[in-house]
């Protein structure tokens, strides 16, 4: 049974420290011109000092909860999406539960990389449809600067740190905000983007090199995969939503590369003024990129509420997820 779900609150947080493309050119053989023309990125916000993925996630979660009007003790599930939480365990979701005082929430983390928010929305919907949850908090928090090889110019220029959060609630007024949702995975292409576990065999069994927990990516193949596979997946979700592409106000894509965003806009024939992008400022923040783009655009008045929007993400796995949503006034 499908029950009406309300997107009741959204929040985001980014660290204060800003690193420009010119700054990066001091540590790797790159240039502002290369990064800007190939990706659209101009700056990224990076963690400093003792601040962690958990801290960022907590700040974003507090904002989303405040906007939602839901009390922490009313949250049934906390789902956290993070490439690398502060700890492998306790999970980021459990850490958030304790800090928020969401005592009755069931908590777990998911690994769906940049599609993490949409995967979290799909899981939340299943819990709500089955009567297992009334309120779910999804937190995407990405400390990607801790996962990068800062001597690899092919990856280190592309990513940034940040967090976004969303509260979903059973809609008491009967209006459904999740018009359609589609999730995909293609594990046979998993080698396109990888981050190895540092775990190694016992030294009594064999000697090992130190593990290196860095993001490695075949950018060109990811690019080709996304621009060919994502548009039909988005079109399918739009069709399921009952809306026509030209009736949807905004396209909020995962912020991985401005050229990919422009290719999606063109391929979907989406109106240019409705395409949301902030990759210039934050680079690719993986699962956090969609909720950051959403919450920031609403806050800055770039997205006018109420509205309809396509949220679409793709990433390591390979995973992909798209949701066609209605966004009410006052959610961010």
Chain residues in the site for ligand UT7 (CB under 6 A): 30, 34-35, 38-39, 114, 153-154, 157, 193, 219-220, 222-223, 226, 256-257, 260, 284, 286, 315
Say how many CA atoms lie within 13 Å of 200 toward its Cβ.
13
For residues 83 and 178, which CB has a smaller minimum distance to ligand UT7 in the complex?
83
| Chain residue whose CB lies nearest ligand UT7 | 219
Query: What is the spatial distance between Cα 28 and Cα 20, in angstroms, rounded to a whole number?
Result: 13
Is 254 annotated in the active site?
Answer: yes
| Min dist. Cβ of residue 4 to ligand UT7 (A) | 32
For residues 107 and 261, which CB has a smaller minimum distance to ligand UT7 in the complex?
261
Is 233 annotated in the active site?
Answer: no
Contact 136, 167 (CB under 8 A): yes
SS3 per residue for 197-253 = CCCCCCCCCCCCCCCCCCEEECHHHHHHHHHHHHHHHHHHHHHHHCCCHHHCCEEEE
| Min dist. Cβ of residue 325 to ligand UT7 (A) | 21
For residues 111 and 176, which CB has a smaller minimum distance to ligand UT7 in the complex?
111
Angle 92-100/53-68 helices, nearest 10 degrees?
50
| Min dist. Cβ of residue 142 to ligand UT7 (A) | 10
The one catalytic residue among 114, 135, 156, 278: 114
For residues 87 and 224, which CB has a smaller minimum distance to ligand UT7 in the complex?
224
Say how many CA atoms lie within 13 Å of 30 toward its Cβ.
27
Residue that the structure tokens 């396109």 belong to: 192
Is 135 annotated in the active site?
Answer: no
| Min dist. Cβ of residue 263 to ligand UT7 (A) | 11
For residues 194 and 208, which CB has a smaller minimum distance to ligand UT7 in the complex?
194
Element (H, E) at 258: helix 258-267
The one catalytic residue among 94, 156, 254, 257: 254
**87 CB neighbour count, 10 Å cutoff:** 13
Residue that the structure tokens 């908590």 belong to: 107
Query: What is the spatial distance between Cα 229 and Cα 315, in angstroms, rounded to a whole number?
Result: 12
Tokens of 145: 């600067």
| Min dist. Cβ of residue 326 to ligand UT7 (A) | 26
- By annotation, the residues acting in catalysis are 114, 254, 284
């Amino acid at each position: 049974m499908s029950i009406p779900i309300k997107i009741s609150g959204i929040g985001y947080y980014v660290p204060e420290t800003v690193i420009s493309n010119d700054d990066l050119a001091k540590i790797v053989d790159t240039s502002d011109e290369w990064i800007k023309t190939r990706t659209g990125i101009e700056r990224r916000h990076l963690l400093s000092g003792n601040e962690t993925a958990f801290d960022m996630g907590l700040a974003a979660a507090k904002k989303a909860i405040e906007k939602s009007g839901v009390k922490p003790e009313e949250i049934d599930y906390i789902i956290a999406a993070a490439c690398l939480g502060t700890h492998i365990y306790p999970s980021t979701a459990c850490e958030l539960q304790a800090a928020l005082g969401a005592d009755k929430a069931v908590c777990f983390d998911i690994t769906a990389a940049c599609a993490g928010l949409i995967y979290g929305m799909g899981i939340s919907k299943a819990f709500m449809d089955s009567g297992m949850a009334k309120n779910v908090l999804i937190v995407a928090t990405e400390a990607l600067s801790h996962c990068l090889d800062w001597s690899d110019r092919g990856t280190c220029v592309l990513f940034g740190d940040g967090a976004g959060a969303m509260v979903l609630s059973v809609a008491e007024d009967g209006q459904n905000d999740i018009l359609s949702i589609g999730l995909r995975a293609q594990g046979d292409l998993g080698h396109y983007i990888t981050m190895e576990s540092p775990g190694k065999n016992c030294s009594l069994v064999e000697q090992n090199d130190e593990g290196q927990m860095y993001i490695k990516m075949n950018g060109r193949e990811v690019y080709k995969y996304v621009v060919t596979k994502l548009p039909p997946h988005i079109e399918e979700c739009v069709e399921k939503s009952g809306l026509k592409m030209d009736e949807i106000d905004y396209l909020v894509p995962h912020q991985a590369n401005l050229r990919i965003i422009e290719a999606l806009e063109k391929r979907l024939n989406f109106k240019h003024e409705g395409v949301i992008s902030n990759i210039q400022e934050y680079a690719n923040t993986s699962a956090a990129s969609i909720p950051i783009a959403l919450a920031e655009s609403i806050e800055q008045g770039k997205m006018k509420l109420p509205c309809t929007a396509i949220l679409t993400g793709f990433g390591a796995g390979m995973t992909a997820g798209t949701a066609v949503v209605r966004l009410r006034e006052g959610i961010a």
